[in-house]
Amino acid sequence: GILGGGGEDRATAVKSLGATKGEKVLKVLADLLGRDESPVRVETADALGTFEEYAAKASAYLLAALGSNREEKVQAAVLEAVGRLKQESSAPVVNKWIDVKDNRVAKAAVEATGRIRSATSIEPLIELLKKLEKLGKLSKSSANQAGGPSIPGSARNDSNKEARERVKTVQPAAV
């Protein structure tokens, strides 16, 4: 069948299949979202994000798959697709993902809230910005603290680096 072959072949097939809009295609894609290799799931999420005429159903399938997909690249692709569908009903779930640990996923969630434009996202975004501001100040102040030399690979340097990376990645999307 069209979705036989290796993961790359199936990802290419999903891309082609996604160009054909319809209820049956939507269900086939939704099924793949939960059970195939990650490149196929990423491509499937991307394809579902183009189903504007079936936006409510496509969003529901994407959100249902969000929690069961543990890979960050798949989670980010799902959130990006949900954002493109702009369903107000998706906002409460997307809001829960704006402060997850993985920067790529958090950024995708923040950008999705920007596309969805729900009033329910305002408060969580403000809270996120406050955390990021505090994190930015902490990483700057602890980098300048007396208390010994800067030791590459030390826990203090690693956490500062993580904090700076989080602020650099997520904050621009939230502003």
Please write the tens of the pLDDT for every residue from 156-167: 566 788 888 888
Residue 42 reports pLDDT greater than 80: yes
Using CB atoms within 10 Å of the CB of residue 101, give its burial: 0 to 12 exposed, 13 to 18 middle, 19+ buried. Answer: exposed
- What lies within 8 Å, CB to CB, of 60 at 6+ separation is none
Q: What is the pTM of this model?
A: 0.84
Nearest Cα residue to 48 out of 70, 20, 69:
20
Residue 43 carries which side chain, given as an amino acid letter? Answer: E
Residue 151 reports pLDDT greater than 60: no
CA separation for the pair 21, 142 (Å, rounded): 53
Query: What pLDDT score was predicted for residue 9?
Result: 84
* DSSP for residue 6: -
* DSSP for residue 96: T
Q: How far is CA 57 from CA 18, 94, 103, 135, in A?
A: 15, 16, 27, 38
Query: What pLDDT score was predicted for residue 113?
Result: 97
Q: Is the dihedral of CA 22, 64, 41, 163 positive or negative?
A: positive
Q: What is the pLDDT of residues 85-121, one digit of tens each?
A: 999 999 999 999 999 999 999 999 999 999 999 999 9
Residue 17 reports pLDDT greater than 50: yes
Residue 5 reports pLDDT greater than 90: no
